[in-house]
Structure 1
Amino acid sequence: MAKLIPILLDELQQEFAITEKFLKLIPDDQYDWKPHAKSMSLKQLSVHIAEIAGWPAMGIQSSEWDFAKSPYTPTPIENNHDLIQLLKKGLNDTIKALNQTKEEDLDHQWQLKYGDKILLSLSKYGFIRHAISQNIHHRAQLGVFLRLLNIPIPGTYGPSADDTNGF
C-alpha cells in the first residue's frame, strides 16, 4: 500500500495551487461585496479559504479545537497580498507538519468541540481530507462569487468556460 503522507502532500499542493489562482483574482475594492444578505462577504469567504490551508497542520499538532475555550477569530487582512501570504503560510505550516509526522499518527483522533458538545470527530487523516474537501467546496463557492462579479474563472481540473485555449 502506498504511503499516505506523500499522497496527501501532493494533493494539498495541487489543490492549494488552484485555490491561489482564484484568490489572486479577488479585487481589493470588492471585499465587502456579498451576493445575498445571508452570504459571507467576499473578504470573509476568501479569508476562510486561505485559513483552511493551515488546518491540516493544526490537526496534526493538536487533538482538538474547543470553540468554548478558543473562539474562532478570522485572520485580519487588508489586501490580496495579505490574503496570498496567509494561504502560503498555512500551506507551508501544513507541509512542515506532515513532513514531521509518522503515518501511524494519522490514525489518532481529532475533535472539533464546543465545550462538551462534539461537533466533529475524525482521525487526523480524516481531518486532513475534510480540510481538502472544505477547500474545494468553498473555492467553488468563490467561483460563483467571482462569476457574479463578472470576473473570468480560471480552470481547475481542466479549462473553464473563460479559458480561450480549451483542450
Structure 2
Amino acid sequence: MEIIQSLINEMELEAQTTRKMLSIIPQDKFEWQPHPKSMSVIRLATHIAELPGWVGMVLNTPELDFTTSPYAPKVVTNIQELLAYFEENVTDGKAQLEKAALPQLDEEWVLRNGDEIYSKSTKAEFIRVTYSQIVHHRAQLGVFLRLLNIPIPGSYGPSADEELEMAAAAS
C-alpha cells in the first residue's frame, strides 16, 4: 500500500478511537487535573482534538518555531465544540494527505523553539510522530477519566469497563 493511503487509513482508525474517548468527557470535569503540573482535562482534550490538524501544517511548512508562532490553544466550552473541532482537524488532515505528493513526504521538517531544535525529520516521519502524540495523549486522558471513575472505551479491543459490562450481560 502506498504510504499516503496508509497514513490516511491510520488517521481514520485513530480518529474512531479518539472520537469515543473525547465524547465521554463530563463538562463538569473540564477544569480537573490530577496534579498541578498536569494539563486540565479540557486542555488535554483540546490538544488531542487539534493534533490531526498538524498534518496539514507539516505538509505545507518547513518548520514550526514556537518563538515566531507562539502556541495559543483553542478555547472550547462544551463537548459539542470539542468534537466539532476534532472533526474539522481530521477532515483537514485527511484532505491535506489526499492532495500530498510522495516527494513532499521526504522533505525535512523541523520543530523548534528558536535555536533549540526539538525534532528534525522527514515530513512523513513527523506525521507519524503526530499520530503517536494523539495515542499518547489519548492514553493520558484515559488515565484522567479512570481517576475520575468514568468508564472508558477500549482502544484496540475492549477496555476493562467494557469487559465487565460484557460479563455482566452474559450472566
Q: Give the TM-score normalised by structure 1.
A: 0.96
Distance in structure 1 (CA, Å) of the matches to 2:97 and 2:166: 36
The alpha carbon displacement at 1:32 in A equals: 0.6
For this pair of structures, how many residues does the alignment match? 165
- Output the amino acid matched with 2:150: I
The alpha carbon displacement at 1:17 in A equals: 1.2
The alpha carbon displacement at 1:165 in A equals: 2.9
Match of 2:166? 165
- Counterpart check, 1:89 vs 2:76: no
- Counterpart check, 1:42 vs 2:25: no
What does 1:10-159 align with in structure 2 at a 5 Å threshold? 10-159=9-158
- Output the amino acid matched with 1:53: P
Q: Give the TM-score normalised by structure 2.
A: 0.93
Match of 1:9? 8
Q: Give me the identity figure in percent.
A: 45
Distance in structure 1 (CA, Å) of the matches to 2:31 and 2:9: 34
- Output the amino acid matched with 1:104: P
Q: Flag structure 1 segments of 5+ consecutive residues without an equivalent.
A: none
Distance in structure 2 (CA, Å) of the matches to 1:86 and 1:131: 17
Deviations 1:22-42 (A, max 9, x none): 000111111110111111110
The alpha carbon displacement at 1:118 in A equals: 1.6
Q: Larger % of helix: which?
A: 2
- Output the amino acid matched with 2:156: Y
The alpha carbon displacement at 1:117 in A equals: 2.2
Deviations 1:52-103 (A, max 9, x none): 1111111011111111111000011111111111111111111110011111
Q: Flag structure 2 segments of 5+ consecutive residues without an equivalent.
A: none
Distance in structure 2 (CA, Å) of the matches to 1:25 and 1:58: 28
Distance in structure 1 (CA, Å) of the matches to 2:139 and 2:113: 28
Deviations 1:99-148 (A, max 9, x none): 11111210001111112222211100001100110000010000000101
Distance in structure 2 (CA, Å) of the matches to 1:116 and 1:146: 37
